Structure 1
Amino acid sequence: MALASRVVGEKAAANGLLWRLPSNLLQSFNFSTESPATTTTTTTTTTTEASKNTKRRKNKNLFEVAQFLPNWGLGYHMAKTHWTNVSYEITKINLYKDGRHGKAWGLAYKDGIPAPATKKISGVHKRCWKYISNPIKAEVEPKPEAEAA
């Protein structure tokens, strides 16, 4: 008896589902009088526009750039994308557990000349960092007093 009522209940549920179609399913049917060729061209243009928007390159913060470098980028040069002739040589990184956040310290280089001391890098979580593969390092000439002595 229980089996028969279960079968009847399943049939009723199946019949009820046929009437409960989502409204967006009806919108997907094309009732227009246009030719099929014109409808396919309009759908392809909208899909290409949507794909252009989804292929936008996402900028990375300092830690997302450093994770692919050996030893998390220690000893490598990085800079913000809008900086010119300025970079940091990473000397220390303190990562949080997720690997995308933390603190970083480094030597600042301006026009190839390093700063005298290591300092904490600000803006490491902003999404505008890039790796500098061949940094310009200026030769620092020794002072003439040191040569005379």
Structure 2
Amino acid sequence: MIIPTSAVNTCIIDNNKIYAYGFKKLLSIKDLSNQVTHFDNGSEAIAHLRDPDNAQNLPDIIFLDLSMPVMDGWEFMKEFEEIKSQLGKKISVYILSSSIDSQDIDRAKNIPSISDYIFKPVDVQRLQEIFKDLQGIARQ
């Protein structure tokens, strides 16, 4: 069964509201995802993931910023690692950051749940590849 990429449930966790708005618009314009949830920090996203009322509406993919107030991307990943087996769904996580610090990149590579580290601003072709790969996984 082929799932249209626009049916991919996407989550962006980033406190930059302007960037998040532009990112959502880009996903919509390129017909990659029309279902986008936005959280300003990792704490809000973890609460959403843990809430049993959201079990049928979990994201297929998360784009995660590292630098945020309340709960940053690293803290989110620590919590996510603890709850991911209880979610009942594989969720792909991509770091989406402006940090070019090699320590951040290496740290991300050592977390199995992180699919890739992408630099802001995101490249449209790279996004299209990610959603195409995700669509292929959904078919299996």
Mark yes or no: TM-score above 0.5. Answer: no
- TM-score if structure 2 supplies the norm length? 0.22
- TM-score if structure 1 supplies the norm length? 0.21
Pick the structure with greater CA Rg. 1
| Structure 1 or 2: more helix by fraction | 2
Greater relative contact order structure (CA < 8 Å, 6+ sep): 2
